[in-house]
Structure 1
Amino acid sequence: MGDAHIIAHGLGGASFSEPENVQAECALLGAILTNGRRVMPMVEEYLRPEHFYDPLNGVIYEAALHMHGRGIEPNPLLIRDRIGGHDVLMGRVPAEYIAQIMLAMVGIANAGEYGRAIFDAWTRRQLRSMCLDVSRLCLNPIGQSGEDLVEQLESGLLDIAQNMRESLPNVTIAEAIAQAIACGRDALARGSALAGLSWGYPALDRMTGGLLAEGLYLLGARPAMGKTALGLGIAMRVAARGERVLFWSGEMAARQLGARAGAAWAGLSTLSVFSGRRYDIPEDVETGMRVNLAPWQWDDLAEGERQAEGVPLELDTRSGLTVAGLRSRARRMKRSKAGLGLIVLDYVGLMQGSEAARRRGRYEEMSEISAGLKTLAKELGVPIIALAQLNRDVEKREDKRPIEADLRDSGGLEQDADMVAFLYRDHYYLAKEASGDGLQKRERETDEQFANRCSDLQFRMREAVGKAQVLIRKNRHGGTGSVRLRFDHDSTWFRDESEDPRSPAWVREVHS
């Protein structure tokens, strides 16, 4: 039989038998035993012994793989000695079976295709087995809900997809350079000076060159620094430019996120959106009540709602999100006509790993989540921004600016991320100092020293109002450094330093 028949068909048997391609297995093993030095490099990177349908073929391949790794040429005599007496022989004589394999060898040039045919049959077996398991659970759920079964199916698909990526062929450096040049030409054709999507904040664009497809971006901060505000601001501004964005929040309801976006547009406090009262002026002295929002303020909120109608930003507020659950929704969005341009996760510490990873501890769970997010970014070809909460070690230092060691239970996040950045506002810590023991007179401190210290603290607080920094500590595709932003505490919204604070929070671009 020819190569095409071996690769395409195999010995399937009845229509309900397991997918397999024993002919391709024998043809590949025959090629390995004929010229292992040439054939093994074609398949060793992705093909594993468990991918073989016939267990004996898997044992033979494992022996050949082991010998090749030690620099020994696999040959029929050595392989025969290795498999002699093995349980998987099932009555077969090693010498006779080796001879059959040698006769099954069709050619060496197409050995790589035999390997892919074997891998393809294994993939289909995995899919069949997973579908049968879920099918049985549909009839006898054992306490599992339909949503649990969908997540189990998605998790299995994610594992299979990760294995499939291992079978992708290598790319030469010349091809890689050509791909990079094509990206640059595409950027010029778009009229953009950026290598990827704009962050929506020019200062971040200048430092990073934009959000690159397949990139994992980690943005860490202590509570109350404004990481949700910055994440939502980036998502809103990217979406306003026409890119569809998925924003997941593990701790806020959709209406809370909507209040922030509406307040930013109208220049109001988020409390004003929920209460319908003004927080931009003091409450009434006699009644202690705050004044109702003025008609023009309601109009501003209504205008913000109208402007947001054409913005393709979608909010996911499911609790305990897994990478498999995220992948399911993100893949559907990516396949749709509108596509998917960016994913923002608030925050990664609220995501859940598999049950097995959870049993191994939080560090292992976060490592699994991190690896899954990086794989998902590459699979979909979209950037993912993962917000992260920092541990309390920041509070113990005199210099409160975060460093990589402050990432909480980060697992492999720091290693997997293409960029690691931290959000920092000096005013937050100065205000805490002023409201706590910072304005208490210290032992052996003179009245003059105390007065000077208080005056200095008040001056630093005034200077720090509204100022924020994004500290880029790691950047695989560019430089590191500090990016300055402005923060409006009332509306919880970030702006670029160059922006007019009275300008719209975002500008919706209308594409013809």
Structure 2
Amino acid sequence: MADGSMFGDALRTPPANVEAEQALLSAILINNKAYLNVDEILEPEHFSVAIYGRIYEVIQIIINAGRQADGVTIREYIKGDVLLGRQTEGEVIATLLKCVVGITFVKSYAVTIRDAWVRRCLFKACSETLDRCCRPGNDTAADIVDGLENGLLELARGTDEAQPTTSLAVSMQQAREAALAAARRGNGLAGISWGYKALDRMTGGMMPSAMYLLGARPAMGKTALGLGIAIRSAAAGSSVLFWSGEMTAPQLGARAGAAYAGLSTQAVFTGRRYDVPEDAETGDRQVLSDWQWRDLEAAERKAAQLSLEIDTQSRITVAKLRSRARRMARSKRGLDLIVIDYVGLMSAGSTYEDQRTYERITKVSGQLKQLATELNVPLVVLAQLNRETERREDKRPMMSDLRDAGALEQDADMIMLLHREHYYLKKQQDAGLTRKDREGTEEFANRVSDLANRTEQAKGKAEVLIPKNRQGPEGTCRLHFTNETTWFRDISEDERSPAWVVAGEDARE
């Protein structure tokens, strides 16, 4: 029975409906108005017979140019085409024109043709998966699953039905109703909260299906801000999925615990005190005091109130992220936001594309944008900027610093660039200034003093530059950064206040 079943599978042919393809093309060639009923449903690649796909493409070209597409006008386009095989263009056209179909039925034929195409794609994906399962090689079971999931994600993107058009009046009504809903919420936000008042004021919150890109150079604190957005948004009542490709769950937990307990991250990692000097003789540091352990436990209790899930699977594909996000969306708590740290560590699901950074990120970016639309939730995507910032005297990042990051700049609805001037000034100060040619002692001393003053004034200050915002103004948001706890706050917040406050609770609780 097993052998017979396998043999039967081998004899199966990919599904196709040639008669429907012939009938549809005939209807269009006889009456071009039929094309208007199918142009949003069909593309040339949906045809199983290659020459029929080519003819449909020619019909598109001719009709879109405002001319009549019929047996005569398409002949010159397909004459001598290799897709004809042993047939002539006349024989193929004659075969099509023998089919007489009314314009009424073309839409159902188009749906049939597209359905057969989807089935062929599934047939191919499953056949390739079966082949990989049975073929000796280096593919692990996880690799095969990733490949299948990625193929199904691409197929799902291609099978989305066309969105119906909406009149201007209805669009304005939808916008007004959304504004009324925002007004009733009492927080002035059109979307969900960032957890930071400065960002909420600038953007009106994170909008469903929008993709927000947060770019920064290493050591600027993009993971800290991404985690802060995830935690504070969850504290405001949102359900959040946070994916990290470079940190483990305990490491992220240590950061959050340190921020809430007011300890340095190093103290949480080691269990030792860094707020008091080390022993002068042995160099050892004291173990955390009882009250500090209690503060960490209190942080855990506050975190337990949040709907925040952490995923740290390395080299995750969008297909796998999608399945996890959909599972969370179906849960009782739902899903309101996805934070990705960071896009450069995601896989495109293809060994070929993963070897080429630009192509990989471009593909991943498109898939992420599709995911945001499909789940109707905002995505905050972290990205690393190129080194151009380091070469400029003014270290503030620019959108052009994203040029190595594939299509992220184009796909993002809003771009945020994180900058901390203190990092660069401190680096310059620690390296020491070099006296310039013909520079006097007093001039050099003034320059050293000026650098020291600027470094001190910049301490704790952070800027989120917004050079692109499809839904609102561009500008700069200012935040406060505590280096010891690697945590961002609004500049109006007390540095000793809780790192986050659960909605409905008093900050002093």
Same fold (TM over 0.5): yes
Q: Within 2, Cα distance between the matches of 1:83 and 1:448?
A: 83
Structure 1 pair 91–414 and aligned structure 2 pair: CA distance change class (3 A): closer
Deviation at 1:243, TM superposition (A): 2.0
2:282 to 274, 279, 287: 287
1:67 alignment partner in structure 2: 62
Deviation at 1:192, TM superposition (A): 3.6
SS at match of 1:122: helix
Opposite residue 457 of structure 1, the aligned amino acid is L
2:454 alignment partner in structure 1: 460
Structure 1 pair 447–80 and aligned structure 2 pair: CA distance change class (3 A): closer
Structure 1 pair 189–222 and aligned structure 2 pair: CA distance change class (3 A): same
SS at match of 2:31: helix
Deviation at 1:134, TM superposition (A): 1.7
Q: Within 1, Cα distance between the matches of 2:54 and 2:394?
A: 59
1:446 alignment partner in structure 2: 440
Opposite residue 225 of structure 2, the aligned amino acid is L
SS at match of 2:282: coil
Contact 2:189 2:200 in 1 (8 A): yes
SS at match of 1:131: helix
Encode CA deviations 1:293-341: one digit per residue, 9 max, x unaligned: 1111110000001111121211121222222232232222223333221
Opposite residue 480 of structure 2, the aligned amino acid is R
Contact 1:215 1:382 in 2 (8 A): yes
Contact 1:56 1:88 in 2 (8 A): no
Encode CA deviations 1:102-134: one digit per residue, 9 max, x unaligned: x2x1334x5344323321221122123212322
2:364 to 350, 360, 369: 369
2:206 alignment partner in structure 1: 211
1:229 alignment partner in structure 2: 224
Opposite residue 58 of structure 2, the aligned amino acid is A
Q: Within 2, Cα distance between the matches of 1:42 and 1:466?
A: 61
Q: Percent identity?
A: 52
What TM-score results when the alignment is normalised by the length of structure 2?
A: 0.89
Contact 1:389 1:408 in 2 (8 A): no
Q: Within 1, Cα distance between the matches of 2:456 and 2:54?
A: 73
Encode CA deviations 1:357-392: one digit per residue, 9 max, x unaligned: 345x32222222222221221122111111111222
Deviation at 1:17, TM superposition (A): 6.0
1:269 to 251, 260, 264: 264
2:114 equivalent to 1:97:
no
2:305 equivalent to 1:307:
no
1:30 alignment partner in structure 2: 26
Q: Within 1, Cα distance between the matches of 2:160 and 2:493?
A: 43
What TM-score results when the alignment is normalised by the length of structure 1?
A: 0.88
Contact 1:239 1:312 in 2 (8 A): yes
2:8 alignment partner in structure 1: none
Encode CA deviations 1:480-508: one digit per residue, 9 max, x unaligned: 11101011111100001122222211122
Aligned residues: 491
Q: Within 2, Cα distance between the matches of 1:94 and 1:454?
A: 83
1:423 to 406, 418, 421: 418
**Equivalent residue runs for 1:70-149 within 5 Å:** 70-79=65-74, 86-87=84-85, 93-94=91-92, 96-101=94-99, 103=100, 105-108=101-104, 111-140=106-135, 142-149=137-144
Structure 1, unmatched stretches of 5+, are 1-14
Q: Within 1, Cα distance between the matches of 2:133 and 2:126?
A: 10
1:158 alignment partner in structure 2: 153
SS at match of 1:165: coil
Structure 1 pair 16–338 and aligned structure 2 pair: CA distance change class (3 A): farther
SS at match of 1:242: coil
Structure 1 pair 156–446 and aligned structure 2 pair: CA distance change class (3 A): same
1:348 to 333, 343, 354: 343
SS at match of 1:444: coil
| Greater alpha carbon shift after TM alignment, 419-428 vs 162-171 | 162-171
1:469 alignment partner in structure 2: 463
Structure 1 pair 402–96 and aligned structure 2 pair: CA distance change class (3 A): closer
2:276 equivalent to 1:278:
no
2:407 equivalent to 1:412:
yes
Q: Within 2, Cα distance between the matches of 1:411 and 1:362?
A: 8
Deviation at 1:137, TM superposition (A): 2.9
Structure 1 pair 82–402 and aligned structure 2 pair: CA distance change class (3 A): closer
Structure 1 pair 435–59 and aligned structure 2 pair: CA distance change class (3 A): closer
Contact 1:80 1:98 in 2 (8 A): no
Q: Within 1, Cα distance between the matches of 2:430 and 2:61?
A: 67
2:376 equivalent to 1:381:
yes
Deviation at 1:82, TM superposition (A): 6.3
What CA RMSD, in Å, does the superposition of the two structures yield over aligned residues? 2.6
Contact 1:230 1:494 in 2 (8 A): yes
